[in-house]
């Protein structure tokens, strides 16, 4: 187990280093921050002073070397836009995204596992057909379209919930509901398929022959053996939410790390872009490592 964790950690570190290099140089292609933050009629001397203050006058390789040196001592630089440490700005946004992702994935996992298991147990029934149809629709519907329709219907038309913000519980309903639909549809399909395979196994037939009731068969005998593919999909969907839920956060004005990344790219706040990418990537790497550990706990053969 420890060897497996060590190998995953090393491969994740290599990926993170490659990501830092790629994002550093690509972010510089967005343009000169001086042209954005200074007045149109600013003199060349003012522009040079601005670049000097923010370390943008040096060649790119020199800037990159200096950034790596600062990063080695956990200095992520300062936000040009907010004149604050970039890591503080990012962690504030990441905290909002993490809350949104945790609430959404908890609801999605509970609902999808129960519905998918029941649909598999009643395969071919009206319940199974309705569950399959709804999950396919949910998995296929684009987030941005659902978000816009939800705002038009429930916020503008009916006036039940606010269109944006985070002030009250009502502000969270639409973002959670929109983010819920797609992963719910995908996970229901995977749970149903995995449970159908498990329900056809010999040990399930033996349990039924011994008179074991339906509920223990579903949630004790088969669910654990069906969980490996389910955990994979849950992890992928959770990583997608941690990756910012960029579209949903932008549409609903949710102050998460996804919206922060979009704003920082538009405003050429290079240090915030890099810090946001690194924090998000690190969170995804940790999540993938936890998924690998869950695999090993469910199936000891994976440990070797």
Q: How far is Cα 286 from Cα 90, in angstroms, rounded to an integer?
A: 18
Is 241 inside any structural domain? yes
b/e per residue 12-50 (b: at least 16 CB within 10 A):
beeebeebbeebbeebbebeebbeebeeeeeeeeebeeb
Of 39, 72, 105, which residue is a domain's last?
72
b/e per residue 57-66 (b: at least 16 CB within 10 A):
eeeeeebbee
The pLDDT > 90 percentage for the chain reads: 0
Is 16 inside any structural domain? yes
- Hey, how many other C-beta atoms are within 10 angstroms of the C-beta on 124? 8
- Are 144 and 19 within one domain? no
Q: What's the whole-number mean pLDDT along residues 122-147?
A: 82
pLDDT tens string 68-85: 888 888 888 888 888 888
CA 202 centroid distance within chain: 38
- Are 122 and 162 within one domain? yes
Is 80 inside any structural domain? no
Is 181 inside any structural domain? yes
- Are 196 and 255 within one domain? yes
Token pair listed for 150: 């939800």
Q: How far is Cα 47 from Cα 33, in angstroms, rounded to an integer?
A: 9
Please count the structural domains in the chain.
2
Partners of 78 in the beta sheet?
Answer: 85
- Are 57 and 102 within one domain? no
Q: Which domain does 248 fall in, by range?
A: 87-303
- Does residue 291 contact residue 3 with C-beta atoms inside 8 Å? no
- For the whole model, what pTM was predicted? 0.77
Is 104 inside any structural domain? yes
Q: Three-state DSSP class for 166? A: coil
- Are 95 and 227 within one domain? yes
Of 72, 103, 127, which residue is a domain's last?
72
Q: Where do we find the tokens 């939800």?
A: 150
> DSSP characters for 39-106?
-TT--HHHHHHHHHHTT-SS-HHHHHHHHHHHHHTT---B-TTTSSBHHHHHHHHHHHHHHHHHHHHH
295-304: list long-range contacts, CB under 8 Å, 24+ apart.
295/228, 295/231, 296/1, 296/4, 298/224, 298/227, 298/228, 298/231, 299/228, 303/1, 303/4
Whole-number mean pLDDT of the chain? 80
**Ramachandran angles phi, psi of 38, nearest 5°:** -100, 155
Q: Looking at residue 107, what is its pLDDT?
A: 92
Q: What's the whole-number mean pLDDT along residues 185-197?
A: 83
Q: Residue 229 belongs to a domain with what CATH number?
A: 1.10.3720.10
Q: Looking at residue 206, what is its pLDDT?
A: 67
- Are 94 and 196 within one domain? yes
Q: How far is Cα 106 from Cα 114, in angstroms, rounded to an integer?
A: 13
pLDDT of residue 19 exceeding 80, the answer is: yes
- Are 154 and 24 within one domain? no
Q: How far is Cα 115 from Cα 132, in angstroms, rounded to an integer?
A: 10
């Amino acid at each position: 187990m420890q060897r497996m964790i060590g190998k995953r950690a090393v491969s994740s570190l290599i990926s993170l280093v490659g990501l830092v290099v790629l994002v550093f140089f690509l972010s510089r292609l967005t343009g000169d921050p001086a042209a954005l933050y200074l007045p149109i009629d600013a003199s060349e001397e003012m522009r040079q002073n601005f670049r000097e203050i923010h370390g943008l006058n040096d060649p790119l390789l020199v800037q990159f070397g200096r950034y790596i040196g600062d990063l080695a001592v956990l200095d992520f630089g300062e936000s040009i836009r907010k004149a604050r440490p970039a890591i503080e700005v990012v962690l504030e946004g990441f905290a909002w995204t993490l809350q949104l992702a945790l609430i959404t994935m908890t609801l999605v996992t509970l609902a999808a596992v129960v519905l998918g298991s029941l649909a598999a147990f009643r395969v071919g029934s009206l319940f199974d057909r309705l569950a399959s149809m709804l999950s396919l629709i949910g998995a296929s519907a684009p987030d941005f379209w659902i978000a816009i329709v939800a705002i038009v219907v429930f916020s503008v038309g009916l006036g039940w919930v606010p269109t944006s913000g985070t002030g009250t519980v009502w502000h969270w309903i639409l973002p959670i509901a929109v983010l819920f639909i797609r992963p719910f549809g995908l996970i229901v399909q995977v749970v149903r398929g995995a449970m159908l395979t498990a329900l056809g196994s010999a040990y399930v037939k033996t349990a039924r022959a011994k008179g074991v009731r339906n509920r223990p068969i579903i949630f004790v005998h088969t669910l654990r053996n069906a969980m490996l593919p389910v955990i994979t999909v849950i992890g992928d969907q959770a990583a997608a939410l941690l990756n910012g839920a960029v579209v949903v956060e932008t549409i609903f004005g949710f102050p998460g790390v996804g919206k922060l990344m979009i704003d920082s790219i538009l405003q050429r706040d290079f240090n915030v872009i890099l810090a946001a990418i690194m924090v998000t990537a690190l969170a995804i790497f940790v999540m993938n490592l936890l998924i690998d550990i869950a695999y090993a706990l469910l199936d000891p053969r994976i440990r070797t």
